[in-house]
Structure 1
Amino acid sequence: MPMPAFTPCSAPRRLLEEGGYADAVDLHDAAHAAELERVLASTRAPLALMQAAGLAVARLARAMTPHARRVRVLAGPGNNGGDGFEAAARLKADWPDVHIDLAWLGHPASQPGDAAASRLRAEAAGVAITELDHPPTGAADRLATWCAELAQADGDTLVIDALLGRGLNRPVSGDLARLIDALNTGAARVLSVDLPSGLNGDVGVWPDGVDAPIVRADTTLALLSPSPGLCTGMGRDVVGELWWHDLGTGSATPHAVAAQARLARGSALARLLQPRPHRQHKGSVGDLWVIGGDVAMQGAAWLAARAALECGAGRVHVDLLDAQGLGLDPGQPELMVGRCADRDELARATVIAGCGGGPAIAARLPELLSTTARLVLDADALNAIARDTNLQDRLRERSARGQASVLTPHPLEAARLLGSDVAAVQADRLAAVRALATSYRCTALLKGSGTLVCSASSGALPTINGSGNAALATPGSGDVLAGVIGAFWSQLAIRPLVEEGPGDDAATLATRAAVDLHGRVAQSMSHRGAALPASRLVSGLGDWLRRQAPPRSA
C-alpha cells in the first residue's frame, strides 16, 4: 500500500533552522514523555501512534535518501524498535526496488505488545529480520556479521537507528555498544528515531568521565515531543538535522502533560526586529553603561559597549576601572568615556557590570546592586558575588524593590555561584539554570552547547536556545553577548512587548532574543564552527540586523 502523500498537517518540521522564526516547542523528559504517550494513546485506536510513527520515519527516510539502494533498520527491544518495524514494513511496501532488512536486538517473550504487533506486520510485509539476541543454534555470529557490514557500508545505504528510545537511563555497553561503534565507523547515512541511541535524552550527557558510544546521526526525528537532551550537552553534536513530528496529535500535544523546558526558535528575536519609528532618537531607547575594563582587560568592556551600540542602544557610556586606561575606543568614537554615572543616572539606566572587571569590580557592586534599575552581571562581577555572601544577599533583595537582574555565567562561574563544581552543573544544565534563577531571584543564562535561559517567576520554564555553534568558543564572545542583552533590554524598557509565556518579563525576553541573535550571527559568519574572533562578531551583529526585513511571523 503506497504511503499517503505529505500534507501540511502530516509533514515533519525542522526544529533548528538558521533563517526562520517560529514559536517555541515544549520539551519533555523521559518520564513525562511516557505519560504524554499514555494520555494520547488512550484517545486513539490500538497501535495508532506506533503506526503513525513508522509512517513518519519512512517518509523522512525516503526524503532524506531518495536514491538509496539499501535500507537497514536497527530495532531495539522496546517501543522504539516497534517504530523501526513499522517503518520497515512501510518502506518494504512502498519502495520495492530497494533492499530492506532489519536486525532486531530483542526477544519475543519480553517485547511490548504494540511493538510485537508491529514486528508481525513487518514479517507479513516480507521484511528480512535477523534476530541478534537469540540466533538459532549453530548459526554464525550474526552480530559480528552485522557489525562488519555496518562498518563497511557506503553512502548508498541508509540506516534507521531504532535501537533505544528516550527511556535509556545508563550508558550503553555490550552488544549495543558494538553495534553503535560499527555504525559510527561506516559511511552510511543515519536516521535516528526519537534520539540517537546512546544519548541521555533528559540532559544530553552522562556523568563526567563516562565515555560511552552514541550514534552520530545525520538526521534525528523526534516523535510526539522532543527530548531536552537533543538540544543541549552532547545532543547538538550527534543529532544532525533535527526534525519533529507530532504524529497527528496537533494542538493536543503540548498541553496534555507539563513540559520541563522549551526550545526557543526565534519568536523573541522576531518581535524585536520591527522597523524603528521615524520619530525615534538616541534618547528614546535609554542610556546604557558598561562598567568594567580593569588593568590589561579593557578589551572586554569595549567589546560589550560596541555590541550594545551595534544592536540599537542609544547613548552608550563606558566606565573603565583602569584609571590609566585609554580614554576612548579609536574604532568606535561614538562611545562615551571618562566619567562615572551618578545615582540618578544608574536608577534610570541599563548597566552591564563585570566585563574585564578584575578585582576592582567588587568595590563597585554594592552601589550597583542597590541603585541600578536593570543590571546585567557578567564575568568578574559574578565571581565577586560568588565569593561574598553580603553581595549575594544584596542581589536577592533587588527583586523585592522592582529592580531586575540578569546573570550570564559559563559553567565554571555557575558552579561558583551554586557552591558546586563544573561536572555537577554540566550533568544537569536544566537543574542548574533553574537553581541560579530561583536562588538569586533573577533571570539566569547558562552558556554552553544549547545555552539556557530561565526566569525566577513561578511557572516559568527554562528555554534552550536553538542557534549558535562552536564559532562562539572564543575569548570575548561572552562580553559581546552581555552587550547585546543590555541593548535589547534598554529598548524593551521603553517599548514593552507582550509576554511570550508564563513568567516572562523584559529581562528574560531581552536575554532570550540576545542569545538567539548571538548564535545566528555566528552561524552566518562561520557555518562550520571555525573560531570567530569576538571583534569580528561585533561587526557582524550590526550588519546582520541591518539586512533583516521584519519577520512575517512577528
Structure 2
Amino acid sequence: MRNYSTAIYTTAEIREIEQLAAALPDPPALMEKAGLAAAEEARDRLLIHGRIRVLVLAGPGNNGGDAFAVARHLQAWWFKVTLVFTGERSTLSSDARHMLDAWLAAGGKIYAEIPKNEKWDAVIDGLFGIGLDRHEGRELEGRYLALVNAVNRMNLPVLAIDIPSGLGSDSGRVRGAAIRAVMTVTFIGLKPGLMTHQGPEYCGEICLHDLDLNTLSLKEPGSWMMDQILAQKLLPPPRLASSHKGTYGSVGIIGGSTGMMGAALLAGAAALKSGAGRVYLGLIAGKALEVDTAQPELMLRPVHEMFKLDQLSCLVVGPGLGMKADARFWLSSALESTLPLVLDADALNLIAAHSSIANLLRERKGPSILTPHPAEAARLLNTDTPTIQNDRMAAAADLAKRFNCRAVLKGGGSICAVSGGKRYINTSGNPGLSSAGTGDVLSGITGALLAQGLSSDNALLLAVYLHGAAADMLLKQQGGPVGMTASEIPNAARYLLNQWIHNS
C-alpha cells in the first residue's frame, strides 16, 4: 500500500465526507482531482515499457466521471485511448456530465461496447467503484457481468478506480464477478472491502489519494488499519535485569480433552514463547500426560487444580476443550472468575449452544476476548457463515456488543472489535495460516500478552498482528504457504517480538 493512512471509512462515511467537502467555503473539485491522480498512477506505474493502448471503461455513476477524466488526461499525454461508456448522459450527476463533456471537447470518442478485433496494453476500470454498495445484495448480471468477465479474460494489467468493479466496498464480497486489478487507486480514505474477505485477492497494490482533504478533521473514522507501526506502539517494555518469572505473569490454559491434547500444548508453547513467565495447562484428560517432553517448561495439571492457583494472570479456555458436560462445567467456572479470559474453539461453541453460559459471559466483570473463525461466529450470532462473510465488519462489532467483550473475526483481513466500538482490520498473515492449530497458537499469544500486563484491547491487536507477521516470516523462509504448520509459528513470533522490542 502506498500514500500511507490508517483510517478506514465505510461507503456511507465516504459519502458524508464528500458532502462536507462540498460545503466548504472553497470546495475542491474532487472528481477532477481523482481523475488526475488515477491518470498519473496509470502513466507512471502501469503504462510503461512501451504500453500506449488503453481501454477505459466508464460506468453510469460518478466512478464513470472519474474514468472520463482519466481518459482525457491520458489522451493529452499521447496515449491511445478507447473509452467504453455504459450509461446515459442524461442520468449522470452534474460533475460526471462535466467530465464527459470535457472528454468529448478534447476530441474523445465514446463506444457503447468493447470494440472487437482490437488490442490494448492495459485497462482502466471505472464501471462502479463504491457505487455498487448503494444496491445491497445486488449481483452483477447481464451486460455488466459480461464486461467484467471479458476484461478478466484479456489477462491485461488493470488499474481499478476506487475499488475493483463487482467488489463490495464495505464487505469485500464479490458480487457474482469482479475485476481483477494489479493496482487500485482509491480516494479520500481506505475502504473495508479493499482489506478484508476477498478484497485483497482482487485489489492488487493499493494507492491512496486523499484529494487534498484533511479527512480526519471532516469525519472521525470508526475503523483503522492494524499494521506494524501500530504494533510497535503496543509492545511490552524491554525487560529489566532485576526481573524474574513472576514479573511476566502466569497463563492458565483449560482444554486438552482426550484426543485433543495437542491443541492445549500448542497454545501453551505459544504462550511460553511469547513471553509469559509461567504457563499452566489444566488438562481435562487428567493424568493422560505427565510432561510434554517437547516443551517440559509447561506445567501440566488436572483441570480442577487450575482454580486453586492464585498466581494466574489470565485464563485461555477452549483449545481441545470438547463439548461434553465436564467442558461445560469448567468453562462456566472460568466465566464466573474475574480473571481476563481468552475464549476460543469449543469454548465458543459451548457459548453458542447454551444460553446460560452465554449469559455468564455477558454478565462478567473481568475482560473477555473471543477469537472465532466465521463458522464459529455464525453459531454465536445464530446465523450462517455466508451472512457473516457478507458483512464481516458488522459481524465483528455485533460479537463485541452482544457478548460484552473484545472479539477478533478471523480470516483474510481479520477484524478486531475493541472498546468504544472501534474496529481494526489486520494487514498481516497469509494462507499458510489455513491449517490446524493456528488458532490455538493465537490464543496462547494473546494470553501471554495479557499476562505481561497489556490491556485486553492492546493484547488482542498485538497478538493478531504478531501471529500473522510470524506466518509472513515463515512464508518468506519457506518460499510459500504450503505445508506451514502451527507448531512453527511460536518460534517465529518469539523472534519478531524480540526484534520489535529491541528496535523500539
Q: Please say whether Structure 1 and Structure 2 have the same fold, judged by a TM-score greater than 0.5.
A: yes
2:460 to 511, 524, 546: 511
CA contact (8 A) 1:450 1:465 kept: yes
CA distance in 1, matches of 2:87, 2:501: 53
CA distance in 2, matches of 1:481, 1:534: 10
Call closer, same or farther: CA 1:177–1:243 in 2, change over 3 Å. same
Equivalences for 1:195-344 in 2 at 5 Å? 195-205=163-173, 212-249=176-213, 252-273=214-235, 275-338=238-301, 340=303, 341=305, 343=307
Distance apart, 1:371 and its partner CA: 1.7
CA distance in 2, matches of 1:322, 1:439: 32
Moved more, 514-523 or 68-77: 68-77
Match of 2:128, SS state, is coil
> Corresponding residue for 2:111?
131
Equivalences for 1:363-442 in 2 at 5 Å? 363-399=329-365, 403-442=366-405
Distance apart, 1:483 and its partner CA: 0.8
Call closer, same or farther: CA 1:272–1:331 in 2, change over 3 Å. farther
CA contact (8 A) 1:349 1:374 kept: yes
Distance apart, 1:382 and its partner CA: 1.2
Call closer, same or farther: CA 1:373–1:391 in 2, change over 3 Å. same
Distance apart, 1:292 and its partner CA: 1.0
Call closer, same or farther: CA 1:453–1:84 in 2, change over 3 Å. same
Distance apart, 1:122 and its partner CA: 2.6
Is it true that 1:159 corresponds to 2:123 in the alignment? yes
CA distance in 2, matches of 1:549, 1:326: 35
Is it true that 1:190 corresponds to 2:158 in the alignment? yes
Give the counterpart letter for 1:185 in structure 2: R
CA contact (8 A) 1:351 1:372 kept: no
1:350 to 297, 314, 322: 314
Give the counterpart letter for 1:514 in structure 2: A
> Corresponding residue for 1:177?
145
CA contact (8 A) 2:59 2:85 kept: yes
Call closer, same or farther: CA 1:240–1:259 in 2, change over 3 Å. same
Please give the per-residue CA displacement for 1:76-98, whole angstroms capped at 9, x wherever unaligned.
Answer: 121111111212222222x32x3
- How many residues are matched? 491
Distance apart, 1:404 and its partner CA: 0.7
Distance apart, 1:531 and its partner CA: 4.3
CA contact (8 A) 2:251 2:312 kept: no
> Corresponding residue for 2:429?
468
Distance apart, 1:551 and its partner CA: 5.6
Give the counterpart letter for 1:257 in structure 2: K
Please tell me the root mean square deviation across aligned C-alpha atoms, in Å: 2.3
Give the counterpart letter for 2:177 in structure 1: P
Give the counterpart letter for 2:240 in structure 1: P
Call closer, same or farther: CA 1:323–1:538 in 2, change over 3 Å. same
Moved more, 373-382 or 413-422: 413-422
CA distance in 2, matches of 1:294, 1:549: 36
Distance apart, 1:44 and its partner CA: 6.4
Distance apart, 1:348 and its partner CA: 4.3
Distance apart, 1:398 and its partner CA: 1.1
Distance apart, 1:492 and its partner CA: 2.6
Distance apart, 1:309 and its partner CA: 1.4
CA distance in 1, matches of 2:428, 2:461: 11
TM (norm. structure 1) is 0.83
CA contact (8 A) 1:471 1:529 kept: yes
Distance apart, 1:14 and its partner CA: 5.1
Match of 2:160, SS state, is strand
Give the counterpart letter for 2:34 in structure 1: A
Distance apart, 1:550 and its partner CA: 4.9
CA contact (8 A) 1:346 1:371 kept: no
CA contact (8 A) 1:408 1:482 kept: yes
Give the counterpart letter for 1:131 in structure 2: Y
Distance apart, 1:244 and its partner CA: 1.3
Is it true that 1:59 corresponds to 2:32 in the alignment? no
CA contact (8 A) 1:311 1:484 kept: yes
> Corresponding residue for 1:72?
55
Distance apart, 1:478 and its partner CA: 0.4
Aligned-pair identity (%): 38
CA distance in 2, matches of 1:450, 1:518: 13
Structure 2: state its 5+ residue gaps. none
Call closer, same or farther: CA 1:118–1:269 in 2, change over 3 Å. same
Distance apart, 1:347 and its partner CA: 7.2
Give the counterpart letter for 2:144 in structure 1: L
CA contact (8 A) 1:470 1:531 kept: no
Call closer, same or farther: CA 1:398–1:160 in 2, change over 3 Å. same
Distance apart, 1:144 and its partner CA: 5.8
> Corresponding residue for 1:86?
69
Please give the per-residue CA displacement for 1:273-317, whole angstroms capped at 9, x wherever unaligned.
Answer: 453333333211111111111111111111111111121111111
CA distance in 1, matches of 2:502, 2:94: 51
Distance apart, 1:193 and its partner CA: 0.9
Please give the per-residue CA displacement for 1:312-361, whole angstroms capped at 9, x wherever unaligned.
Answer: 11111122211242222222222222355554635742111110111342
Structure 1: state its 5+ residue gaps. 1-11, 16-22, 133-141, 494-505
CA distance in 1, matches of 2:28, 2:109: 20
